[in-house]
Chains A and B, each alone.
Chain A
Amino acid sequence: MDFNQKTGCLKLGARLDAGEVSALWSAVGGRVRHVDASPLETCDGAGLALIWYVQKGGATVTGLRPEIAALLRPFDHLPVDPADAPPRDNSLFGQLGRAASQIWNDTRDQVAFIGEFTVTALRCAVSPGQVRWGDMWVIAQRAGVDALIVAGMVSLLTGMIMAFQSSVPLKQFGVDIFVVNLVALAILRELGPIMTAVVLAGRSGSAFAAEIGTMKVNEEIDALVTMGIEPMRFLVVPRVLAGFLVTPVLTVYANFLGVAGGFFVMMALGFPFMALWNQLVSAVGVTDVMTGTIKSFVFGILVAGVGCLRGLQTGTGASAVGVSTTRAVVSGIFLIVLVDAVFAAIFYTIQW
């Protein structure tokens, strides 16, 4: 194989494969005017591509063996320019338009989902026999019982950390017994419900999205629909119901452990249990416990619901399931914080 720079004449060797073509391609490119292919015996797909390429570029090819020429024949009508990819407008307006239409579609999906879910849930409330209770209990176990350790640890450690961190500054004012107020109110009103809901979003919201998303990709959802089984009743209701029942229980449990964590630290710092208990009883009212628990019901519905919604929105292909799972967790956490802010405003207004 050798290339004469001056005359633009390329003399090929006996073999032209991907390795040789890699070296030749950029060196020779558009400068070949004549190819002497007489020594060429074997040629792979890349070699054929090179010959085709220089030929279409206007070079003459001589001495090509008939069997190799035959291999080239199917490509006689291949256009030089690649076929147009499906048109895609990448200007600012195009991108804005796509983003807007995506937001619009997403909103429409959510409204439809909420509406359909409400109708189905009401129908199930009227005749509870329609609910798949067996599935519900299994899901509740996976979302609830299996989450006890992680939700408990997160809450316990948060309580302990808060007590540690706040005891030093409060001690400077000689009011370190008020650490109990701080830890108990923060955990019961905000942190307990929120952290439990975040744990649920990470563990179960993602699992719901992945499970339903995989079913969507495998056309199992279509199979349900054509069997006359609504996915909403079969898949979504048991999951949302499980989230609704399990989250408050987990929250109460997390609240207990969080406050206990604060107590442990305070006792280690030398406070007697009874002093802490009296402080707790005087600091915490029924409304403080209520606000956290009420919120947790809503968080449970939201996290489970958005997990199912993202699962049902899954597109095609393996990567779509990953996208749905991520969206389930992100939307779940976002909704938790958003709804918590709304609750804060409501509770402030009614002075709970």
Chain B
Amino acid sequence: MVKPIIEVFDLTAAYGDFVLLDKVTFDVRRGEVFVILGGSGCGKSTLMKHLIGLLRPAAGRILIDGGDINNASGQERADLLKKFGVMYQSGALFGSLTLEENVMLPMEEFTKLPPEARRLVARMKLSLVGLERFSGHFPSEVSGGMQKRAAIARAMALDPEVLFLDEPSAGLDPVTSAGLDELILRLNKNLGVTFVIVSHELASIYAVADRVIMLDQTKKGILAEGAPGELRDHDSNPFVHAFFHRETAEVAG
């Protein structure tokens, strides 16, 4: 079996004394689209921030391609950071740079490519997300969906193996959201990029996810794990059932 690209062992996530996730263990396989889902406040975004090294685990270990980001420093950490790209919920594009310059920024910092090569790579990344015509625009001049796609292009600038997407479809209309799902699948299939997506949009979960984990606030851990279709049809847990059938918790309980 191929070694998983992300391995999480007994991760405990806490803010001070408040434990949000208790001893969570899972792994993400190379080349899959992996979705972290759950109700509001269950720690989805916190889990992702731990995976990308923004928050330190209270206990446990996170390995990305065999490297521990929390105990790496210097060059080792820089190399690990290059293995993944992150799209933040609101895009987090730099407002003072054009879309093209946003994508060029990581290349400027981490490669010795000449300017025209950087520009061409940036244009190719933007064309992958369908924004070639908008490369000279500033983030404030394009729509929210375009900003998210540009953020994906920027996350891909250094050809990472893993892309983390925080709520990619939040705040988008169904058509744009479906376009984004298609983009995710295309990049996954053509470039072999592994995706880790935080989401609670049922439609897009069915469309893209190979495997999901569902977090729960009261259990402080993983409530269910598997392919979304299977969880929908076969999971006996009332909350999982309610989530996948869009019922209220009372009906389910």
Residues of A within 8 A of B (CB): 18-19, 21-23, 25-26, 44-46, 48-50, 52-53, 70-71, 74-75, 78-79, 82-86, 315-320
Contact = CB atoms under 8 A, between A and B. Distances in A.
B124 A75 contact: yes
Interface string B2-43: 000000000000000000000000000000000000000000
Contacts of B102: none
A86 B136 contact: yes
5 A-B pairs closest in CB distance: A317-B95, A85-B136, A22-B112, A316-B140, A18-B111
7 contacts: A21-B117, A22-B112, A45-B157, A49-B117, A53-B117, A83-B132, A83-B133
Contacts of B127: 74-75, 78
B197 interface: no
A48 B124 contact: yes
A70 B110 CA distance: 27
Nearest to A78: B127
Contact of A318 (B95, B132, B141): B95
Interface string B105-146: 001001111101101110111011000111111111100000
Contacts of A48: 124
B95 A18 contact: no
Interface of B: 95-96, 98, 100, 107, 110-114, 116-117, 119-121, 123-125, 127-128, 132-141, 156-159, 190-191
B161 to A, nearest CB: 11
Contacts of B96: 317-319
Contacts of B158: 18, 45
Given A22-B117, A25-B114, 19 more contacts: A18-B113, A21-B117, A22-B114, A25-B117, A26-B114, A45-B157, A46-B121, A49-B117, A49-B120, A49-B121, A74-B190, A78-B127, A78-B132, A83-B135, A83-B136, A317-B95, A317-B138, A317-B139, A319-B96
A225 B116 CA distance: 46
Nearest to B131: A83
Contact of A50 (B117, B132, B135, B190): B117
Nearest to A56: B120
Contacts of A25: 113-114, 116-117
Among A21, A46, A317, chain B packs the most CB atoms within 10 A around the CB of A46
Nearest to B136: A85
Contacts of A44: 159
A303 B135 CA distance: 41
A86 B123 CA distance: 16
A22 B116 CA distance: 11
A84 B136 contact: yes
B140 A317 contact: yes
B135 to A, nearest CB: 6
Nearest to B120: A49
A208 B128 CA distance: 43
Contacts of A74: 127-128, 190
Q: Chain A CB within 10 Å — which of B120, B123, B137 has the most?
A: B120
Contacts of A50: 117
Contacts of A317: 95-96, 138-140
Contact of A320 (B95, B112, B113, B132): B95
Contacts of A79: 132
A71 B159 CA distance: 13
Contacts of A78: 123-124, 127, 132
Q: Which residue, B121, B135, B139, B159, has most C-beta atoms of chain A within 10 A?
A: B121
B136 A46 contact: no
Contact of B119 (A21, A22, A75, A82): A82
A18 B104 CA distance: 13
A86 B98 CA distance: 11
B135 A316 contact: no
Nearest to B125: A45
Contacts of B112: 18-19, 22-23
Contacts of B121: 45-46, 49
A46 B117 contact: yes
Given A53-B120, A71-B190, A319-B95, A45 B132 contact: no
Contacts of A75: 124, 127
A52 B120 CA distance: 9
